[in-house]
């Protein structure tokens, strides 16, 4: 395997995906607006409950009562996790819909490069919408995050990404076998929304649910990002979050690759790759 050639494949797939994406401007507009509407809805709800922009109860649970920043940071990190879930599961299903999956699989390159190219394109668009989300939240709701810590936050996100990709690989494999992805990913998205500390700290979850939350890498990424952007923590203070993230990176990348390879082999042997 030539690394340089594989990198070229990743870039070519990313370019192709971005080109396709921009051909549907209504969907682009929708993708830009929707995260803003979700943030908006969550903040109106919070303000209606609390009556001010500071929650005393949240401060006792999460060391910050500034729920706007708390929620916006949670939503930003989860956007990347959800975009990987949807992007990677749709990656091969979309090729199936277009009738190009078999041709893609015949290409003389690693399937992982194709998947990575698709993931990269969805990460790039998500990053753009996240920036927009940050700007609008700052303008409308006076978002109070420490922008000076942004490089540390990005570093943390980079540590978390391999684990998100690993989950995505396993999903792509499952979609190869079971075809229809939307119900499954919808369910996973809802489950993640419940288990991840996006708009509430984990302590409000019943204890048995909390154990499942700790098995999900985005949990550590969200907590870490909040510590950096809201509580001004340094990188050394985040070591208890970074170590589990590195563990999950290795775990999910290995598991995801194994699941994908096993499913790929299975559908190839059964001859069901082209089945719709």
Partner 1 sequence: MKLSKDFIRSLILDLKVSTSTAKKELLINFRYSLWVIFWAVMPVFWLTPMIFQGEALIGGRSSSSFATLAGNADFITFNIIGSSLYAYVMSALWGMGLSLRREQWSGTLETVMVSPCNKFFILLGKAISDSVLTTFYAIVQFILASLLFGARIKLENLTYAILVLLLMVFALYGVGFLLSGIILMYKEPGALLNFVNTFISIICPVNYPLKALVFVFESLGYYLLLIGLLFPLTPALEAIRTFLLPSFDPLISTTLALFYLIVVSIILLIAGTFLFNYVEKRVRRSGVLGTY
Residues that bind partner 1 (CB under 8 A): 24, 26-27, 29-30, 33-34, 37-38, 40-51, 55, 57-58, 61-62, 67, 183, 186-187, 190-191, 193-194, 198-201, 204-205
Residue number, 189 or 233, with CB nearest to partner 1: 189
Rounded least distance, CB 187 to partner 1, Å: 7
How does DSSP assign the chain, residue by residue?
A: --HHHHHHHHHHHHHHHHHHHHT-HHHHHHHHHHHHHHHHHHHHHHHHHHSSS--HHHHHHHS---HHHHHHHHHHHHHHHHHHHHHHHHHHHHHHHHT-HHHHHHSSS-HHHHHHHHHHHHHHHHHHHHHHHHHHHHHHH-----GGGHHHHHHHHHHHHHHHHHHHHHHHHHHHHH---HHHHHHHHHHHHHHS-SSS-GGGS-HHHHHHHTTSHHHHHHHHHHHHHTS---GGGGHHHHHHHHHHHHHHHHHHHHHHHHHHHHHHHHT-TT--
Residue number, 113 or 133, with CB nearest to partner 1: 133
- Give the C-alpha separation, 121 to 75, whole Å: 20
Residue number, 12 or 188, with CB nearest to partner 1: 188
Rounded least distance, CB 1 to partner 1, Å: 38
Closest CA relative to residue 259, chosen from 161, 160, 165? 165
Residue number, 55 or 113, with CB nearest to partner 1: 55
Residue number, 38 or 105, with CB nearest to partner 1: 38
Rounded least distance, CB 167 to partner 1, Å: 19
Rounded least distance, CB 202 to partner 1, Å: 10
Rounded least distance, CB 43 to partner 1, Å: 7
Rounded least distance, CB 208 to partner 1, Å: 14
């Amino acid at each position: 395997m030539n690394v340089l050639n594989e990198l070229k494949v990743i870039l070519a797939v990313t370019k192709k995906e971005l080109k396709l994406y921009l051909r549907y401007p209504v969907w682009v507009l929708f993708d830009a607006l929707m995260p803003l509407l979700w943030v908006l809805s969550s903040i109106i709800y919070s303000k209606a409950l609390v009556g001010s922009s500071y929650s005393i109860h949240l401060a006792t649970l999460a060391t910050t009562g500034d729920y706007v920043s708390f929620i916006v940071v949670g939503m930003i990190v989860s956007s990347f996790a959800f975009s990987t879930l949807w992007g990677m599961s749709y990656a091969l299903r979309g090729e199936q819909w277009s009738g190009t999956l078999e041709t893609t699989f015949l290409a003389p390159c690693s399937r992982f490069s194709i998947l990575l190219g698709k993931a990269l394109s969805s990460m790039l668009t998500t990053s753009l919408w996240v920036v927009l989300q940050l700007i609008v939240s700052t303008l409308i709701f006076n978002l109070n995050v420490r922008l000076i810590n942004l490089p540390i936050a990005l570093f943390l996100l980079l540590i978390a990404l391999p684990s998100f990709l690993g989950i995505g690989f396993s999903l792509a494999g499952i979609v190869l076998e079971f075809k229809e992805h939307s119900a499954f990913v919808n369910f996973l998205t809802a489950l993640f929304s419940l288990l991840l500390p996006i708009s509430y700290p984990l302590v409000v979850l019943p204890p048995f649910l909390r154990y499942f939350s700790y098995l999900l890498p985005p949990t550590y990424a969200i907590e870490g990002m909040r510590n950096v952007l809201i509580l001004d923590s340094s990188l050394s203070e985040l070591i208890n979050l970074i170590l589990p993230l590195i563990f999950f990176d290795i775990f999910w990348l290995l598991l995801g690759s194994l699941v994908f390879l096993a499913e790929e082999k299975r559908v190839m042997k059964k001859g069901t790759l082209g089945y719709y």
